Structure 1
Amino acid sequence: MPAWLITGSSRGIGFELAKQLAANSANTVFATCRKPDAANALKELAKTHKNVHVVALDVDDEASAAAAAETVKSALPAGAGIDYLINNAGWGVRVSFEEEEIATIAAVFNTHVLGALRVFRAFLPLLKLGTRKVVVSVSSELGSLAYVDDPRVGSAFPSYSIAKTGLNMLTRKIAKQYPDFIVFAFAPGWIKTEMGGSGAEYEVDDAVKRHIKIYETATLEKHTDKFINQFEDPVAW
Protein backbone atom coordinates (compact mmCIF):
# COMPACT_ATOMS: atom_id res chain seq x y z
CA MET A 1 0.00 0.00 0.00
CA PRO A 2 1.74 3.19 -1.15
CA ALA A 3 1.88 5.92 1.50
CA TRP A 4 1.55 9.53 0.40
CA LEU A 5 2.40 12.68 2.37
CA ILE A 6 0.96 15.87 0.87
CA THR A 7 1.50 19.35 2.26
CA GLY A 8 -1.03 22.13 1.72
CA SER A 9 -4.00 19.75 1.39
CA SER A 10 -6.81 21.96 2.63
CA ARG A 11 -7.49 23.53 -0.77
CA GLY A 12 -6.55 23.71 -4.43
CA ILE A 13 -4.16 21.21 -5.98
CA GLY A 14 -3.32 19.64 -2.62
CA PHE A 15 -6.93 18.87 -1.78
CA GLU A 16 -7.69 17.54 -5.25
CA LEU A 17 -4.62 15.33 -5.05
CA ALA A 18 -5.73 13.92 -1.69
CA LYS A 19 -9.27 13.37 -3.04
CA GLN A 20 -8.19 11.52 -6.16
CA LEU A 21 -5.64 9.39 -4.31
CA ALA A 22 -8.25 8.54 -1.67
CA ALA A 23 -10.46 7.02 -4.36
CA ASN A 24 -7.94 4.19 -4.65
CA SER A 25 -8.18 2.17 -1.44
CA ALA A 26 -4.67 0.83 -2.01
CA ASN A 27 -3.28 4.27 -1.14
CA THR A 28 -2.68 5.57 2.35
CA VAL A 29 -2.98 9.35 2.24
CA PHE A 30 -1.55 11.70 4.87
CA ALA A 31 -3.15 15.01 3.98
CA THR A 32 -1.55 17.83 5.93
CA CYS A 33 -2.53 21.43 6.54
CA ARG A 34 -1.93 24.16 9.09
CA LYS A 35 -5.39 24.15 10.66
CA PRO A 36 -7.20 20.82 10.34
CA ASP A 37 -10.14 22.02 12.44
CA ALA A 38 -10.92 24.65 9.81
CA ALA A 39 -10.37 22.35 6.81
CA ASN A 40 -13.98 21.25 6.43
CA ALA A 41 -13.71 19.64 2.99
CA LEU A 42 -10.64 17.70 4.07
CA LYS A 43 -12.31 16.52 7.27
CA GLU A 44 -15.30 15.33 5.25
CA LEU A 45 -12.99 13.46 2.90
CA ALA A 46 -11.41 11.66 5.85
CA LYS A 47 -14.85 10.74 7.19
CA THR A 48 -15.79 9.03 3.95
CA HIS A 49 -12.41 7.46 3.21
CA LYS A 50 -10.69 5.38 5.88
CA ASN A 51 -7.39 5.59 3.99
CA VAL A 52 -7.15 9.38 4.55
CA HIS A 53 -5.44 10.77 7.64
CA VAL A 54 -5.61 14.51 8.27
CA VAL A 55 -2.42 15.70 9.97
CA ALA A 56 -1.61 19.12 11.40
CA LEU A 57 1.51 20.54 9.77
CA ASP A 58 2.67 24.14 9.49
CA VAL A 59 5.64 24.04 7.13
CA ASP A 60 6.85 27.35 8.56
CA ASP A 61 7.46 25.72 11.94
CA GLU A 62 10.16 23.11 12.56
CA ALA A 63 8.50 21.73 15.69
CA SER A 64 5.25 21.30 13.77
CA ALA A 65 7.04 19.35 11.03
CA ALA A 66 8.70 17.10 13.60
CA ALA A 67 5.40 16.47 15.39
CA ALA A 68 3.69 15.67 12.09
CA ALA A 69 6.38 13.13 11.26
CA GLU A 70 5.81 11.42 14.62
CA THR A 71 2.05 11.37 14.00
CA VAL A 72 2.53 9.77 10.60
CA LYS A 73 5.04 7.25 11.93
CA SER A 74 2.59 6.15 14.62
CA ALA A 75 -0.16 5.66 12.01
CA LEU A 76 1.99 3.51 9.73
CA PRO A 77 2.61 -0.20 10.27
CA ALA A 78 5.82 -0.93 12.17
CA GLY A 79 8.84 -0.51 9.90
CA ALA A 80 6.83 1.07 7.07
CA GLY A 81 7.72 4.37 5.46
CA ILE A 82 6.55 7.11 3.11
CA ASP A 83 6.63 6.35 -0.61
CA TYR A 84 5.66 9.80 -1.93
CA LEU A 85 6.43 13.18 -0.39
CA ILE A 86 4.65 15.96 -2.28
CA ASN A 87 5.87 19.37 -1.12
CA ASN A 88 2.87 21.34 -2.35
CA ALA A 89 2.25 23.98 0.34
CA GLY A 90 2.64 27.53 -0.90
CA TRP A 91 1.17 30.97 -1.31
CA GLY A 92 1.85 34.22 -3.11
CA VAL A 93 0.78 37.82 -3.56
CA ARG A 94 0.17 39.77 -6.77
CA VAL A 95 2.10 42.96 -6.08
CA SER A 96 5.20 44.65 -7.48
CA PHE A 97 8.50 45.24 -5.74
CA GLU A 98 7.42 48.81 -5.06
CA GLU A 99 4.38 47.62 -3.13
CA GLU A 100 5.70 44.49 -1.48
CA GLU A 101 7.13 44.53 2.02
CA ILE A 102 10.50 42.89 2.62
CA ALA A 103 8.86 40.87 5.38
CA THR A 104 6.37 39.45 2.87
CA ILE A 105 9.11 38.45 0.45
CA ALA A 106 10.92 36.71 3.30
CA ALA A 107 7.72 34.96 4.41
CA VAL A 108 6.99 33.60 0.91
CA PHE A 109 10.58 32.33 0.64
CA ASN A 110 10.30 30.81 4.10
CA THR A 111 7.24 28.78 3.16
CA HIS A 112 8.31 27.58 -0.27
CA VAL A 113 12.00 26.92 0.30
CA LEU A 114 12.68 26.53 4.01
CA GLY A 115 9.26 24.95 4.52
CA ALA A 116 10.03 22.28 1.92
CA LEU A 117 13.39 21.69 3.59
CA ARG A 118 11.83 21.40 7.05
CA VAL A 119 9.35 18.84 5.79
CA PHE A 120 11.98 16.86 3.89
CA ARG A 121 14.27 16.68 6.92
CA ALA A 122 11.46 15.75 9.29
CA PHE A 123 10.23 12.94 7.05
CA LEU A 124 13.64 11.75 5.82
CA PRO A 125 13.73 8.72 8.16
CA LEU A 126 10.33 7.62 6.86
CA LEU A 127 11.36 8.23 3.25
CA LYS A 128 14.36 5.98 3.76
CA LEU A 129 11.97 3.23 4.84
CA GLY A 130 9.71 3.76 1.84
CA THR A 131 9.67 1.58 -1.25
CA ARG A 132 9.36 4.31 -3.89
CA LYS A 133 11.22 7.24 -2.24
CA VAL A 134 9.64 9.87 -4.52
CA VAL A 135 10.14 13.52 -3.52
CA VAL A 136 8.28 16.12 -5.58
CA SER A 137 8.78 19.86 -5.26
CA VAL A 138 5.66 21.53 -6.64
CA SER A 139 7.28 24.49 -8.36
CA SER A 140 6.19 26.70 -11.28
CA GLU A 141 7.34 28.01 -14.63
CA LEU A 142 7.55 31.32 -12.76
CA GLY A 143 10.57 29.86 -10.98
CA SER A 144 12.39 29.35 -14.28
CA LEU A 145 15.13 31.89 -15.00
CA ALA A 146 14.48 31.34 -18.70
CA TYR A 147 10.81 32.31 -18.41
CA VAL A 148 11.62 35.78 -17.10
CA ASP A 149 12.12 36.82 -20.72
CA ASP A 150 8.58 35.75 -21.60
CA PRO A 151 6.48 38.95 -21.89
CA ARG A 152 3.70 37.25 -19.93
CA VAL A 153 6.06 36.88 -16.98
CA GLY A 154 8.65 39.65 -16.92
CA SER A 155 8.61 41.35 -13.52
CA ALA A 156 5.32 39.80 -12.39
CA PHE A 157 4.98 37.87 -9.10
CA PRO A 158 8.48 38.72 -7.85
CA SER A 159 8.44 37.09 -4.41
CA TYR A 160 6.68 33.93 -5.66
CA SER A 161 9.11 33.60 -8.57
CA ILE A 162 12.16 34.09 -6.34
CA ALA A 163 10.86 31.47 -3.92
CA LYS A 164 10.18 28.91 -6.65
CA THR A 165 13.68 29.44 -8.08
CA GLY A 166 15.06 28.74 -4.61
CA LEU A 167 12.88 25.65 -4.33
CA ASN A 168 14.27 24.41 -7.64
CA MET A 169 17.83 24.67 -6.34
CA LEU A 170 16.87 22.93 -3.11
CA THR A 171 15.37 20.13 -5.20
CA ARG A 172 18.59 19.68 -7.17
CA LYS A 173 20.69 19.66 -4.01
CA ILE A 174 18.49 16.95 -2.48
CA ALA A 175 18.72 14.93 -5.69
CA LYS A 176 22.50 15.13 -5.61
CA GLN A 177 22.79 14.13 -1.95
CA TYR A 178 20.27 11.27 -2.14
CA PRO A 179 20.90 9.58 -5.50
CA ASP A 180 18.71 6.61 -4.61
CA PHE A 181 15.66 8.89 -4.23
CA ILE A 182 13.46 9.95 -7.16
CA VAL A 183 13.59 13.74 -6.73
CA PHE A 184 12.28 16.30 -9.20
CA ALA A 185 10.76 19.76 -9.53
CA PHE A 186 7.29 19.88 -11.03
CA ALA A 187 5.38 22.71 -12.72
CA PRO A 188 1.72 21.76 -12.26
CA GLY A 189 0.36 24.33 -14.71
CA TRP A 190 -1.94 27.33 -14.38
CA ILE A 191 -4.92 25.64 -12.79
CA LYS A 192 -8.39 26.85 -11.82
CA THR A 193 -8.07 26.93 -8.05
CA GLU A 194 -8.48 29.60 -5.40
CA MET A 195 -4.89 30.61 -6.02
CA GLY A 196 -4.90 30.18 -9.80
CA GLY A 197 -8.19 31.97 -10.35
CA SER A 198 -11.17 31.23 -12.58
CA GLY A 199 -9.32 32.42 -15.69
CA ALA A 200 -6.64 29.75 -15.47
CA GLU A 201 -5.94 27.36 -18.35
CA TYR A 202 -6.66 23.97 -16.80
CA GLU A 203 -9.40 22.34 -14.75
CA VAL A 204 -8.02 21.06 -11.46
CA ASP A 205 -9.46 17.54 -11.69
CA ASP A 206 -8.04 16.92 -15.17
CA ALA A 207 -4.65 18.37 -14.29
CA VAL A 208 -4.28 16.38 -11.08
CA LYS A 209 -5.02 13.14 -12.93
CA ARG A 210 -1.98 13.93 -15.08
CA HIS A 211 0.05 14.79 -11.99
CA ILE A 212 -0.70 11.49 -10.30
CA LYS A 213 0.20 9.49 -13.40
CA ILE A 214 3.60 11.18 -13.50
CA TYR A 215 4.23 10.63 -9.80
CA GLU A 216 3.27 6.97 -9.91
CA THR A 217 5.39 6.18 -12.97
CA ALA A 218 8.43 8.32 -12.09
CA THR A 219 11.82 6.63 -12.30
CA LEU A 220 15.37 7.45 -11.24
CA GLU A 221 16.60 7.42 -14.81
CA LYS A 222 13.89 9.58 -16.34
CA HIS A 223 12.84 11.99 -13.59
CA THR A 224 15.51 12.50 -10.95
CA ASP A 225 17.12 15.96 -10.98
CA LYS A 226 14.69 17.14 -13.66
CA PHE A 227 12.20 20.03 -13.93
CA ILE A 228 9.08 18.95 -15.82
CA ASN A 229 5.50 20.07 -16.40
CA GLN A 230 2.17 18.26 -16.21
CA PHE A 231 2.66 16.87 -19.72
CA GLU A 232 6.08 15.52 -18.74
CA ASP A 233 7.84 18.04 -20.96
CA PRO A 234 11.10 19.54 -19.67
CA VAL A 235 11.00 23.06 -18.22
CA ALA A 236 14.14 25.17 -18.54
CA TRP A 237 15.74 25.82 -15.17
Structure 2
Amino acid sequence: MVSWAITGATRGIGLGFVDNLSIDPKNQVFAIIRSRATAGPLEKLASKRKNIQIVVTDISDPSRLAEAAADVSKITGGSLDVLILNAGSAGPETSVLPPTAFHGKEEALEKEINENVKNNLISNIFVINSFLDLIRNGKEKKVIFISSQSGDVEFTRVTGFATVLGYSVAKAGMNLVMSKFSAELAQEGIKTLSLSPGWVDTDAAKAVTGDPAVRKFVLSAFRKLDPNVNGPISVNESVTDQLQVIRSLTEANSGKFLSHHGNHDEWF
Protein backbone atom coordinates (compact mmCIF):
# COMPACT_ATOMS: atom_id res chain seq x y z
CA MET A 1 0.00 0.00 0.00
CA VAL A 2 1.26 3.48 -0.94
CA SER A 3 0.48 6.30 1.48
CA TRP A 4 -0.26 9.81 0.23
CA ALA A 5 -0.93 13.04 2.17
CA ILE A 6 -2.41 16.04 0.40
CA THR A 7 -2.78 19.48 1.97
CA GLY A 8 -5.59 21.78 0.85
CA ALA A 9 -7.75 18.77 0.06
CA THR A 10 -11.16 20.39 0.60
CA ARG A 11 -11.75 21.40 -3.00
CA GLY A 12 -10.22 21.97 -6.42
CA ILE A 13 -6.94 20.28 -7.26
CA GLY A 14 -6.44 18.96 -3.72
CA LEU A 15 -9.81 17.21 -3.75
CA GLY A 16 -9.01 16.00 -7.26
CA PHE A 17 -5.89 14.27 -5.97
CA VAL A 18 -7.86 12.61 -3.17
CA ASP A 19 -10.55 11.45 -5.58
CA ASN A 20 -8.12 10.09 -8.17
CA LEU A 21 -5.83 8.33 -5.71
CA SER A 22 -8.54 6.81 -3.53
CA ILE A 23 -10.07 4.97 -6.48
CA ASP A 24 -7.25 2.47 -6.01
CA PRO A 25 -7.77 0.59 -2.73
CA LYS A 26 -4.02 0.01 -2.58
CA ASN A 27 -3.54 3.72 -1.90
CA GLN A 28 -3.89 5.11 1.61
CA VAL A 29 -4.94 8.75 1.28
CA PHE A 30 -4.71 11.42 3.97
CA ALA A 31 -6.72 14.55 3.17
CA ILE A 32 -5.18 17.35 5.23
CA ILE A 33 -7.59 20.25 5.65
CA ARG A 34 -8.14 23.34 7.77
CA SER A 35 -11.79 22.79 8.66
CA ARG A 36 -14.58 20.27 8.16
CA ALA A 37 -17.09 23.14 7.91
CA THR A 38 -16.40 23.60 4.19
CA ALA A 39 -15.46 19.99 3.40
CA GLY A 40 -18.84 18.66 2.28
CA PRO A 41 -17.71 17.03 -1.00
CA LEU A 42 -14.64 15.54 0.71
CA GLU A 43 -16.72 14.17 3.59
CA LYS A 44 -19.10 12.58 1.09
CA LEU A 45 -16.21 10.97 -0.78
CA ALA A 46 -14.59 9.72 2.43
CA SER A 47 -17.85 8.12 3.52
CA LYS A 48 -17.75 5.95 0.38
CA ARG A 49 -14.04 5.12 0.35
CA LYS A 50 -12.53 3.75 3.52
CA ASN A 51 -8.96 4.39 2.37
CA ILE A 52 -9.47 8.15 2.88
CA GLN A 53 -8.55 9.64 6.24
CA ILE A 54 -9.40 13.29 6.96
CA VAL A 55 -6.86 15.13 9.10
CA VAL A 56 -7.73 18.62 10.39
CA THR A 57 -4.85 20.96 11.14
CA ASP A 58 -3.43 24.45 10.60
CA ILE A 59 -0.43 24.47 8.28
CA SER A 60 0.76 27.77 9.75
CA ASP A 61 1.02 26.23 13.24
CA PRO A 62 3.97 23.83 13.75
CA SER A 63 2.52 22.43 16.99
CA ARG A 64 -0.74 21.47 15.29
CA LEU A 65 1.19 20.06 12.35
CA ALA A 66 3.15 17.87 14.75
CA GLU A 67 -0.16 16.51 16.03
CA ALA A 68 -1.33 15.89 12.47
CA ALA A 69 1.88 14.04 11.62
CA ALA A 70 1.45 11.95 14.77
CA ASP A 71 -2.11 11.06 13.71
CA VAL A 72 -0.87 9.92 10.30
CA SER A 73 2.00 8.01 11.91
CA LYS A 74 -0.40 6.01 14.11
CA ILE A 75 -2.21 4.73 11.02
CA THR A 76 0.81 4.07 8.78
CA GLY A 77 3.17 2.73 11.41
CA GLY A 78 5.45 5.75 11.25
CA SER A 79 5.86 6.30 7.52
CA LEU A 80 4.55 8.34 4.58
CA ASP A 81 5.39 7.73 0.93
CA VAL A 82 4.31 10.92 -0.83
CA LEU A 83 3.55 14.37 0.57
CA ILE A 84 1.74 16.77 -1.79
CA LEU A 85 1.81 20.44 -0.78
CA ASN A 86 -1.30 21.82 -2.45
CA ALA A 87 -2.66 24.28 0.14
CA GLY A 88 -2.17 27.93 -0.72
CA SER A 89 -3.74 31.33 -1.10
CA ALA A 90 -3.93 34.01 -3.78
CA GLY A 91 -3.42 36.64 -1.10
CA PRO A 92 -5.04 40.05 -0.57
CA GLU A 93 -7.13 42.05 -3.05
CA THR A 94 -4.02 43.96 -4.12
CA SER A 95 -3.02 40.93 -6.21
CA VAL A 96 -4.60 42.71 -9.20
CA LEU A 97 -2.00 45.47 -9.02
CA PRO A 98 1.29 45.61 -10.96
CA PRO A 99 4.49 46.61 -9.10
CA THR A 100 4.38 50.33 -9.96
CA ALA A 101 0.86 50.66 -8.52
CA PHE A 102 2.33 50.16 -5.05
CA HIS A 103 4.24 53.45 -5.22
CA GLY A 104 3.03 55.41 -2.21
CA LYS A 105 1.26 52.30 -0.89
CA GLU A 106 4.12 50.78 1.07
CA GLU A 107 1.92 49.11 3.69
CA ALA A 108 -0.17 47.48 0.97
CA LEU A 109 3.02 46.26 -0.73
CA GLU A 110 4.31 44.70 2.49
CA LYS A 111 0.97 43.00 3.04
CA GLU A 112 0.88 41.75 -0.56
CA ILE A 113 4.32 40.17 -0.25
CA ASN A 114 4.23 39.07 3.39
CA GLU A 115 0.81 37.37 3.33
CA ASN A 116 1.73 35.39 0.26
CA VAL A 117 5.13 34.38 1.60
CA LYS A 118 3.55 33.30 4.88
CA ASN A 119 0.76 31.29 3.24
CA ASN A 120 2.53 29.90 0.20
CA LEU A 121 6.12 29.51 1.36
CA ILE A 122 6.76 29.51 5.10
CA SER A 123 3.73 27.34 5.90
CA ASN A 124 4.89 24.78 3.35
CA ILE A 125 8.30 24.58 5.00
CA PHE A 126 6.50 23.95 8.29
CA VAL A 127 4.58 21.08 6.66
CA ILE A 128 7.66 19.48 5.14
CA ASN A 129 9.63 19.62 8.38
CA SER A 130 6.70 18.25 10.37
CA PHE A 131 6.24 15.22 8.09
CA LEU A 132 9.88 14.67 7.16
CA ASP A 133 10.55 11.82 9.57
CA LEU A 134 7.57 9.96 8.13
CA ILE A 135 8.88 10.55 4.59
CA ARG A 136 12.28 9.23 5.68
CA ASN A 137 10.57 5.97 6.63
CA GLY A 138 8.50 5.77 3.45
CA LYS A 139 9.14 3.71 0.35
CA GLU A 140 8.65 6.44 -2.27
CA LYS A 141 10.25 9.29 -0.27
CA LYS A 142 8.70 12.06 -2.40
CA VAL A 143 7.74 15.64 -1.50
CA ILE A 144 5.74 17.51 -4.16
CA PHE A 145 4.95 21.23 -4.19
CA ILE A 146 2.04 22.33 -6.37
CA SER A 147 3.43 25.53 -7.78
CA SER A 148 2.26 27.80 -10.62
CA GLN A 149 3.54 28.90 -13.98
CA SER A 150 3.22 32.45 -12.66
CA GLY A 151 6.28 31.69 -10.54
CA ASP A 152 8.39 31.16 -13.66
CA VAL A 153 10.51 34.04 -14.95
CA GLU A 154 10.27 33.14 -18.64
CA PHE A 155 6.52 32.58 -18.46
CA THR A 156 6.10 36.03 -16.92
CA ARG A 157 8.46 37.66 -19.39
CA VAL A 158 6.74 36.24 -22.48
CA THR A 159 3.10 36.57 -21.38
CA GLY A 160 3.54 40.04 -19.90
CA PHE A 161 1.73 39.19 -16.67
CA ALA A 162 2.59 42.01 -14.25
CA THR A 163 -0.03 41.26 -11.57
CA VAL A 164 -0.33 38.65 -8.77
CA LEU A 165 3.00 40.00 -7.53
CA GLY A 166 3.12 38.45 -4.06
CA TYR A 167 1.69 35.12 -5.21
CA SER A 168 4.26 34.85 -8.01
CA VAL A 169 7.13 35.82 -5.71
CA ALA A 170 6.07 33.23 -3.11
CA LYS A 171 5.65 30.46 -5.67
CA ALA A 172 9.03 31.24 -7.25
CA GLY A 173 10.60 31.34 -3.80
CA MET A 174 9.10 28.00 -2.82
CA ASN A 175 10.38 26.48 -6.07
CA LEU A 176 13.87 27.38 -4.89
CA VAL A 177 13.16 26.10 -1.39
CA MET A 178 12.21 22.73 -2.89
CA SER A 179 15.57 22.65 -4.67
CA LYS A 180 17.26 23.39 -1.34
CA PHE A 181 15.44 20.48 0.31
CA SER A 182 16.47 18.26 -2.61
CA ALA A 183 20.11 19.26 -2.21
CA GLU A 184 20.04 18.64 1.52
CA LEU A 185 18.13 15.35 1.50
CA ALA A 186 19.43 13.67 -1.66
CA GLN A 187 21.78 11.39 0.27
CA GLU A 188 18.75 10.03 2.15
CA GLY A 189 17.02 9.11 -1.10
CA ILE A 190 14.35 11.81 -0.66
CA LYS A 191 13.17 13.41 -3.89
CA THR A 192 11.39 16.76 -4.27
CA LEU A 193 9.57 18.41 -7.15
CA SER A 194 7.81 21.69 -7.86
CA LEU A 195 4.94 21.04 -10.25
CA SER A 196 2.72 23.44 -12.16
CA PRO A 197 -0.82 22.05 -12.54
CA GLY A 198 -1.53 24.02 -15.71
CA TRP A 199 -4.45 26.40 -16.22
CA VAL A 200 -7.11 24.48 -14.33
CA ASP A 201 -10.87 24.98 -14.13
CA THR A 202 -11.20 25.51 -10.39
CA ASP A 203 -13.27 27.93 -8.32
CA ALA A 204 -10.08 29.82 -7.48
CA ALA A 205 -9.22 30.20 -11.16
CA LYS A 206 -12.75 31.34 -11.98
CA ALA A 207 -12.49 34.02 -9.30
CA VAL A 208 -9.46 35.45 -11.10
CA THR A 209 -10.28 34.86 -14.77
CA GLY A 210 -14.07 34.48 -14.75
CA ASP A 211 -14.85 38.01 -15.89
CA PRO A 212 -15.20 38.06 -19.73
CA ALA A 213 -12.82 41.01 -20.14
CA VAL A 214 -10.23 39.38 -17.90
CA ARG A 215 -10.63 36.05 -19.68
CA LYS A 216 -10.02 37.76 -23.03
CA PHE A 217 -6.85 39.38 -21.69
CA VAL A 218 -5.63 36.13 -20.11
CA LEU A 219 -6.19 34.14 -23.31
CA SER A 220 -4.36 36.76 -25.35
CA ALA A 221 -1.41 36.63 -22.94
CA PHE A 222 -1.31 32.83 -22.77
CA ARG A 223 -1.44 32.53 -26.56
CA LYS A 224 1.90 34.32 -26.73
CA LEU A 225 3.29 31.05 -25.37
CA ASP A 226 0.82 28.62 -26.88
CA PRO A 227 -1.38 29.81 -29.79
CA ASN A 228 -3.61 26.75 -29.37
CA VAL A 229 -4.74 27.32 -25.79
CA ASN A 230 -8.51 27.92 -25.61
CA GLY A 231 -9.26 27.69 -21.91
CA PRO A 232 -8.54 25.85 -18.68
CA ILE A 233 -8.36 22.08 -18.42
CA SER A 234 -10.46 20.02 -16.03
CA VAL A 235 -9.26 19.15 -12.54
CA ASN A 236 -9.25 15.47 -13.46
CA GLU A 237 -7.07 16.02 -16.53
CA SER A 238 -4.62 18.13 -14.55
CA VAL A 239 -4.40 15.67 -11.66
CA THR A 240 -4.02 12.68 -14.00
CA ASP A 241 -1.14 14.37 -15.81
CA GLN A 242 0.49 15.48 -12.56
CA LEU A 243 0.34 12.02 -11.06
CA GLN A 244 2.09 10.64 -14.12
CA VAL A 245 4.93 13.12 -13.53
CA ILE A 246 5.01 12.39 -9.79
CA ARG A 247 5.16 8.64 -10.28
CA SER A 248 8.02 8.99 -12.78
CA LEU A 249 10.05 11.28 -10.48
CA THR A 250 13.62 10.05 -10.07
CA GLU A 251 16.74 11.37 -8.39
CA ALA A 252 17.77 12.83 -11.77
CA ASN A 253 14.76 15.19 -11.77
CA SER A 254 14.66 15.90 -8.04
CA GLY A 255 14.56 19.61 -7.17
CA LYS A 256 13.28 20.70 -10.59
CA PHE A 257 10.27 22.85 -11.47
CA LEU A 258 8.19 21.11 -14.15
CA SER A 259 4.84 21.51 -15.86
CA HIS A 260 2.08 18.90 -15.60
CA HIS A 261 3.48 17.55 -18.86
CA GLY A 262 6.81 16.83 -17.19
CA ASN A 263 8.82 19.53 -18.95
CA HIS A 264 9.55 23.23 -18.56
CA ASP A 265 7.80 24.78 -21.55
CA GLU A 266 4.32 23.24 -21.97
CA TRP A 267 2.40 25.18 -19.33
CA PHE A 268 -1.10 24.48 -20.73
**Aligned match of 1:217:** 248
Alignment length (residue pairs)? 232
**Given the two structures, how large is their TM-score scaled by the length of structure 1?**
0.92
Structure 1 ranges of 4+ moved more than 3 A: 97-101
**Aligned match of 1:40:** 40
Q: Which amino acid aligns with 1:219?
A: T
Q: Which amino acid aligns with 1:71?
A: D
**Given the two structures, how large is their TM-score scaled by the length of structure 2?**
0.82
1:65 and 1:36 map into 2 onto residues whose CA distance is: 16
**Aligned match of 1:182:** 191
Residue ranges of structure 1 left out of the alignment (5+ in a row): none
Aligned with residue 135 of structure 1, among 143, 168, 181: 143
Greater Cα radius of gyration, structure 1 or 2: 2
**Aligned match of 2:17:** 17
Q: Which amino acid aligns with 1:90?
A: G
User: 2:112·2:165 contact (CA, 8 Å) conserved in 1?
Assistant: no
After TM superposition, give the deviation of residue 92 of structure 1 in Å.
0.4
Pairing 1:192–2:193 present: no
Q: Tell which deviates more after alignment, 182-191 or 195-204.
A: 195-204
Residue ranges of structure 2 left out of the alignment (5+ in a row): 103-107, 216-230
After TM superposition, give the deviation of residue 104 of structure 1 in Å.
4.1
Q: Tell which deviates more after alignment, 53-62 or 185-194.
A: 53-62
Q: Which amino acid aligns with 1:164?
A: K
1:38 and 1:139 map into 2 onto residues whose CA distance is: 23
**Aligned match of 2:83:** 85
1:15 and 1:196 map into 2 onto residues whose CA distance is: 15
User: 1:133·1:181 contact (CA, 8 Å) conserved in 2?
Assistant: yes
2:64 and 2:113 map into 1 onto residues whose CA distance is: 22
After TM superposition, give the deviation of residue 207 of structure 1 in Å.
1.3
- Alignment RMSD: 1.7
1:235 and 1:125 map into 2 onto residues whose CA distance is: 34
**Aligned match of 1:121:** 129
Pairing 1:95–2:96 present: yes
For residues 102-149 of structure 1, give each alpha carbon's deviation from its aligned partner in whole angstroms, at most 9, with x where no partner exists: 234312111111111000000011000000001111111111122231
Q: Which amino acid aligns with 1:140?
A: S
After TM superposition, give the deviation of residue 186 of structure 1 in Å.
0.7
2:238 and 2:159 map into 1 onto residues whose CA distance is: 25
CA spacing shift, 1:234–1:151, aligned 2, 3 Å: closer
User: 1:226·1:234 contact (CA, 8 Å) conserved in 2?
Assistant: no
After TM superposition, give the deviation of residue 214 of structure 1 in Å.
1.5
